[in-house]
Every structure is written in structure tokens, then in C-alpha cells.
Amino acid sequence: MSLDWSERILLFPVRAAAVDTFLHDLKRKRSGDVNGLLATLNDGSLCREVLRFWLTKEWIVVAPFSPLVALAGPSFTRELTLHTFCGETAEFPSESEGLEETSFETPGNGEVAAE
């Protein structure tokens, strides 16, 4: 069974933890250790796919002083989750979709009652 690069990260706890640490460092310090991340991923083709994806999304840029350091790119946001950062697209409905609407009205005595 062939796994895409997202699954090759997220299905392996050590890889997922390494990417999560890298993402955390980008959020906290605006920089991350690319060398440490790539050593943990330990797969050349996976490393190339991951870096290409993040560079294309402009979530990271290579530091001008060292190719072993990544800086937060112009499109990087602190709201990025591990799954989004690893290329997973949301396949679930948003919180507002799929929920039944419940209307509330306030009776004269101030209590809230559901219809």
C-alpha cells in the first residue's frame, strides 16, 4: 500500500512529533531546525516533498545565513495545525454545517427555552 507524504508523516509518531516540534518552533521563535527535522524524517523523497510543499505555500523560507534553518514565511500563521501543515485537507464539514439549528426564545420570566 502506497502512502502519500502526509500519511508517511502522520502515521508515524516519531515523524509527527518532529514536524510538530518544528511547527511549534516556527510559531514561538519564527525559526526552525531543518537539519534536525530532516534527520528524523530519514527519507530523502519525503524530505523533498515536505520542503517543496511548505516553500510553495510560503509557510517557510530558507534562512539567508544557513540552509539548515527555516524562517517563518510571509504566509505563515500561528493558526496552522499539524494536520494542515502536513498537507491534510479538511474532509469534515465545518462546525456550522451539519448541525441542526435550534432556536431559543426567552419567555417573560427570563428563562431560556428550546423550541
Q: Consecutive 10-residue runs of the chain (115 residues): their mean pLDDT?
A: 81 95 97 94 93 96 93 96 87 40 41 45
CA dist., res. 94 & res. 98, Å (int): 8
Residue 99's pLDDT is: 37
Please give the domain boundaries of the chain with CATH numbers for all domains. Answer: 5-88 (1.10.10)
Handedness of CA 103, 107, 110, 111 (dihedral sign): negative
